[in-house]
Amino acid sequence: MQNYIFDFDLTLIDSGRVNVLSTQSAFDKMGWPKPSADAVSYYTGIPIETSFPKMAPQNASQADLQKLIKVFVKEYEKLEPGNLQLFPGIKEVLAKLRADGKQLFVATSNRSEVVIRNMKALGVLQYFTEIVGFDMVEKAKPAPDTVLKIIADHHLKKDETIMIGDATFDLEMGKNAGVHTAGVIWGAHDTEALKMVHPDYLLDQVPQLLDIK
């Protein structure tokens, strides 16, 4: 494999605690019941513009949902420092892949500017050729748009490209784009859920990323 497209949250970085706390805080500030940690984790793979309405009260207005998003962004930024970290071994794997001449990308349901800021803080931005957030495409995961943009921008061959993620949405996006897929089980979705999407690889340890052929 020559081209590695990674999901960001819960694939490269352990952002689970920040996602849960900032989401629950935002809902609480709106006076709404706080979603469970499991619910927040499950929806981490899709944009908050899609996931928040699923967790909000049914009578929530669009204005309320927009306010919720703004509150969440502020809460997330407050919690970012010191609470986001790479999964153990990720930086070493990225460095090795780049040293071997591989191209690395990120396809995320997060905002691109947030991911770039976090990657810079965590010292891994230099390994990546492009970061594509949901704000840069028409349709987010599991639609193929994010992966297809990367392929088009860099003239990649699909049979030399793999999408790597912790959620079924990531794998579905990769399959919809016609590239190889790898599920990692250290993130949001459990092994059985990932197996249902039939990824080409199912990895349970970070160093196994180097075994992809």
- Do residues 168 and 197 touch, judged by C-beta distance below 8 A? yes
The full set of domain ranges for the chain reads 3-14+84-211, 16-79
Per-residue pLDDT reduced to its tens digit, 97-107 = 999 999 999 99
What pLDDT does residue 189 have? Answer: 75
- The answer regarding whether domain 16-79 maps to CATH 1.10.150.240 reads yes
Cβ count near 97 (within 10 Å): 18
Cβ count near 39 (within 10 Å): 15
What pLDDT does residue 68 have? Answer: 97
What pLDDT does residue 200 have? Answer: 98
- Is the predicted pLDDT of residue 156 greater than 90, yes or no? yes
What pLDDT does residue 108 have? Answer: 96
Residue 36 banded pLDDT, cuts 50, 70, 90: very high
Residue 187 banded pLDDT, cuts 50, 70, 90: confident
- Is the predicted pLDDT of residue 81 greater than 90, yes or no? no
- The answer regarding whether domain 3-14+84-211 maps to CATH 3.40.50.1000 reads yes
Per-residue pLDDT reduced to its tens digit, 108-136 = 999 999 999 999 999 999 999 999 999 99
What pLDDT does residue 41 have? Answer: 86
Residue 150 banded pLDDT, cuts 50, 70, 90: very high
Read off the pLDDT of each residue in 158-180 and give the average, rounded to a whole number: 97
What pLDDT does residue 42 have? Answer: 85
